[in-house]
Copies of this chain bind each other. A is one copy, B any other.
Amino acid sequence: MCAIVGVFGVKKASTVAYYSLFSMQHRGQEATGISASDGEKISIYKKRGMVADVFSQDILDDLQGECAVGHNRYSTAGSASVGDSQPVFAKYKLGEISVVHNGNLINKQEVRNQLIDKGAIFQTDMDTENIIHLIAKSQKDSLVDRIKDMLSRIEGAYCLAIQSRSKMFVIRDRFGIRPLSLGKFKDGGYIVASETCAFDLVGAEFIRDVAPGEMLIFEEGKEPLSEQVFEADFHPCAFEYIYFARPDSIIDSKNVYQMRLEMGRRLAQEVPAEVDLVLPVPDSGVAAARGYAEGLGVPFEMGIVRNHYVGRTFIEPTQAIRDLKVKLKLSPVKHLIAGKRVAIIDDSLVRGTTSKQIVRMLLDAGAKEVHMRIASPEIKFPCRYGIDTPTQMELISSSYGVDEIAHMIGASSLGFLSIDGLKASLGKEQNYSLVSFDGNYFAGGSAESPGCSGSC
């Protein structure tokens, strides 16, 4: 997932970036970084770890200036190198540059090979390095033209914030796969962030979404300049609504909580259950469970308690401890559940491992029947672009039918929201990227065109 933020024309811009990243911690916990520019030079600090752990007052005080860009990195397997965190800073022909990037470039390897053939070196595996190389290699005289050159070479899902010593450029790809919004401060200055929840914390007002294919140019003493660098071909990622984004965020003018509520309502229509009680898997399934309970006219309860003190514990459990991982995080309210037929609602079903443990937990708590309902369609196809997407083999829905899975996880019944139901919930006006569900890449029927519905 990852999160980016860009702040322009605000005192202590790095502090604003810090709190923005703090509020978007759910989009990436592996590493974080901020670079700031005071017009003269760019300072940067990045490190593995959570936002509140990585930055101190001293470090933020060193990141001076009224422009800052920042990044939260999502956990990815394998890479232990701090080099693989963002922003990426470089000196190049026109001066200093710092780039943050959210998304995946599908022609990354091809571009990289071309650059390497011409003598480029790559110090990391990040797309961001491609982007800077393309800017540096462009023959154009101005940074804005070099950025356009670069944009003409990359394909895929991306949101970008590029900082020079005095300007900031923000771009959202033409498919608008990942969200990006523009906010404004009362006393002047702007903020661009992956999720609007950042605006609420730092006291900025939501203005509008950055449009697919749009570039915004921020320069001191001027209003942000908007330029449509690509014709929009809007295919927002449905997973933002399903589980990536925070419920209080507004993604492309739609509130996430309300979308999930609606998915729950439609789920009740499509796959109702004769139950006494509807429970969410906290916190991912809460809004959908509310909608499902409303749809059925059955009581909703927060019948599974989430433990807020989950640190990482690596203590070898004793024999009597079963399903430790899920029990460290979740506990059922037995008195509420015992003797009842319950529906348990989650946002998605990927491997089925956790679902199986939750079903067992509810049965152990005395539930008579456990009907699992998933507020999104069956995930049958991996998202090509997602770094962290499970392979198709790991996706339980790609190998098994609904009843088989119900049996495997021990549920009395199982039901998914249909693809049409998802579309109807989200609204017909957009062509959501649904490749994880239907396997259809959206653009021109070509498997090579960018499509993304996974965890990229």
Chain A residues close to B by CB (< 8 Å): 10-12, 15-16, 18-19, 22-23, 25-26, 29, 44-45, 50-53, 55-57, 60, 62, 80-83, 88-93, 116-117, 119-123, 132-133, 136-138, 185-187, 197, 200-204, 246-248, 250, 255, 257-258, 261, 283, 286-287, 290, 294, 299-303, 305-322, 327-328, 331-336
Q: Point out the residues of chain B lying under 8 angstroms from A132, CB to CB.
A: 121
Flag if B11 contacts A313 (CB, 8 Å).
no
Cβ-closest chain B residue relative to A280: B302
Complex contact A333–B55 (CB within 8 A): no
- Pairs across A and B, CB under 8 Å, 8 listed: A11-B318, A44-B81, A52-B309, A119-B136, A202-B320, A248-B332, A283-B308, A290-B302
- State A318–B302 Cα separation when bound (angstroms): 36
Query: Once bound together, how far apart are the Cα atoms of A62 and B320, in whole Å?
Result: 21
Query: A247-B305, A248-B331 given as contacts; is B121 within 8 A of A18 (CB)?
Result: no
B93 touches A116 (CB 8 A): yes
Q: Give the chain B neighbours of A187 by CB distance below 8 A.
A: 319-320
A290 CB to closest chain B CB (Å) equals: 6
Closest CB in chain B relative to A86 CB, distance in Å: 12
CA distance A310 to B51 in the complex (A): 10
Assembly CA distance A210 to B281 (angstroms): 33
- The answer for the CA separation of A170 and B123 in the assembled complex, in Å, is 21
Least CB separation from A261: chain B residue: B301
Total identical chains: 4
Which residue in chain B gives the minimum CB-CB distance to A204? B320
Give complex CA distance A10, B331 in Å: 23
Do residues B300 and A290 form an inter-chain contact, with CB atoms below 8 A? Answer: yes
Nearest CB of chain B from residue A87's CB, rounded to whole Å: 11
Contact indicator A255/B333 (Cβ below 8 Å): yes
Which B residues are CB-close (under 8 A) to A82? 82
Q: In the complex, which residue of chain B has the Cβ closest to the Cβ of A191?
A: B320
Query: Is the Cβ of A255 less than 8 Å from the Cβ of B331?
Result: no
Contact partner of A318 among B15, B247, B318, CB < 8 A?
B15
The 5 closest A-B pairs by CB, nearest first: A52-B311, A203-B320, A255-B335, A119-B137, A25-B309
Q: Which of A23, A200, A248 has the most CB of B within 10 A?
A: A248
Is the pair A91, B202 in contact by a Cβ cutoff of 8 Å? no
Please give, as numbers and ranges, the residues of chain B lying within 8 Å of A25 by CB-CB distance. Answer: 307, 309
- Of B136, B305, B317, B336, the residue contacting A15 (CB under 8 A) is B317
Known contacts A90-B122, A93-B119, A120-B92: A321-B248 contact under CB 8 Å: no
**Which of B10, B136, B246, B301 is the one whose CB lies under 8 Å from A305?**
B246
In the complex, the chain B residue whose C-beta lies closest to that of A113 is B93
Q: For residue A336, give the distance in angstroms from its CB to the closest CB of chain B.
A: 6
Give complex CA distance A254, B203 in Å. Answer: 44
Rounded to whole Å, the gap between the CB of A255 and the closest CB of chain B is 3
In the assembled complex, the CB of A245 is this many whole angstroms from the nearest CB of chain B, namely: 11
Distance A127 CA – B411 CA, assembled complex (angstroms): 50
Greatest chain B CB density within 10 A among A52, A92, A116, A320 is at A320
* Complex contacts, A90 vs chain B, CB 8 Å: 121-123
Seed contacts A50-B309, A53-B311; 14 additional CB < 8 Å A-B pairs: A18-B315, A19-B315, A23-B331, A52-B312, A57-B314, A120-B136, A121-B133, A200-B327, A200-B332, A202-B320, A204-B320, A250-B334, A257-B305, A257-B336
Residues of B within 8 A of A11 (CB): 318-319
Other-chain contact of A203, B53, B303, B310, B322 (Cβ < 8 Å) = B322
Measured CB to CB, the closest approach of chain B to A261, in angstroms, equals 8
A317 to chain B: which residues have CB within 8 Å? 15, 19
Q: With the chains together, A261 CA to B335 CA distance in Å? A: 12
